[in-house]
Amino acid sequence: MITEQNYRSIGWTATRLARHVELALATLELSTAQYRMLLQLAQGDEASTSLARKLAVSAPSVTAVVDGFVSRGAIERTHSEEDRRKVSLALTPIGRALLLEAEAVVSARLEGIANELDDERSIQAALGGLDLWAEALEKARARRLALRESPVEVSER
């Protein structure tokens, strides 16, 4: 019989890790969606529509999350001088500090779990495995973006 204690698929392990990320973020009253938004905005100012596309959520969902962050002083909205309908979003110093704190609590939670392993080599291998996954995810993302941006060939008839 398969039980939680003896089931070790990659998907199950990733799901369990994701749950621990959620629990760590909850200590800061952040959801994973909010965390992803902070991470995205840390890379530079964004328009709401492009942020929604990058996060794979609806524009109204972004607006709701942004409203919460604006009230916390973590995100600033700036209207375009040329077109007042265009709104740029940026992290404030409070938002940057919140992101740093989120990174710290997530790291501490996952490192604490890794420290349950028997020896330092295993602990470092577990944490290093996350670094390898980060690299693989970035390469996969770059490949997907390159495929989207490659020109479409038109055959002659």
> What sections of 32-151 are H helices per DSSP?
32-42, 48-55, 59-72, 93-114, 120-149
pTM for the whole structure: 0.80
Q: What is the pLDDT of residues 23-75, one digit of tens each?
A: 999 999 999 989 999 998 998 877 777 777 777 777 778 888 889 999 999 99
CATH entry 1.10.10.10 includes domain 10-116: yes
Count CA atoms closer than 13 A to 133's CA, side-chain side. Answer: 9
CB 52 within 8 A of CB 59: yes
Give tens-digit pLDDT for 103-157: 999 999 999 999 999 999 999 999 999 999 999 999 998 888 888 776 655 555 5
Helix (H, G, I), strand (E, B) or coil at 21: helix
Nearest-angstrom CA–CA distance, 45 and 51: 9
72-79 mean pLDDT: 90
- Which residues have C-beta within 8 Å of that of residue 102, sequence separation ≥ 6? 24, 25, 28, 30, 35, 38
Mean pLDDT of 2-10: 72
